[in-house]
Each structure stands twice: as C-alpha cells, then as structure tokens.
Amino acid sequence: MAISGVLPEGSRLPTIRQLANDLGLAKGTVAKAYSLLESHGVVHSRGTQGTFVQAVTETALVDTKVDLAEAAQSYVAAARQLGVALATAHEELAKQWGNLS
C-alpha cells in the first residue's frame, strides 16, 4: 500500500500490537514484516512515536518486485506439492486478496 501510494509518505502505520490484533496474526509476524519494510526503505521507525511511510525510491520498488517474485515462487511450489490445479490456486489467491482488503 505504501509503494502503490494508497498510504502516502508520512502516513503513520498502526502499532505492531494493533495490526496483529486486526489481522489475527502473531505480533512477531507483524514485527518481522515491519522490519523487512524498514530494511527496504519503505517505512521508518521513530521509536515510541511510531512507524511511518517513507518516500518511495526506485530501490524500494525493485526490492518489492523481488520479494513478490520470491513469495510467488513459494506459493506455486506449495500449491504444486499439494497437487492443486492452477485455477484453484488462482481462486485461493483471489480469495485471500479479498480477505485483506
């Protein structure tokens, strides 16, 4: 959302605890995601003030595409190991995409 501009530069992200509760995830999972976003220059943590979206850089865009490709490869590998048809994998991806909207 930060890279697409839905969350503009300077937007404050929810706390790790709040986002974990909202999404039904473990706090450690959200903390890892925030850490990864920060390492790619997408967000910046200001300690107790919170985590904020930074200006999108070309490096962040390239890193995001690489991360997405790696995630897609993992998803495809898992779907194939489960013997899932491509159409079924697409349906599940679309369903999960909708769940996070």
Q: How many domains is the chain partitioned into structurally?
A: 2
CA distance 83 to 90: 14
Asked if residue 62 and residue 52 are part of one domain, the reply reads no
Structural domain boundaries, residue 75: 57-101
Output the pLDDT for position 40.
82
Give the tens place of pLDDT for each residue, 36-91: 889 888 899 998 999 999 987 777 667 777 778 888 999 999 999 999 999 999 99
Q: Are both 50 and 74 inside the same structural domain?
A: no
Same domain, 80 and 41: no
Q: Provide long-range contacts, Cβ within 8 A and 24+ apart, for 67-75.
A: 67/36, 67/40
Task: Give the integer Cα–Cα distance in Å for 90 and 85.
Answer: 9
Cα 50 off chain centre by: 18
Q: Please check whether residues 74 and 33 belong to one and the same domain.
A: no
Do residues 96 and 63 both lie within one domain? Answer: yes
pLDDT at residue 30, as a whole number = 93
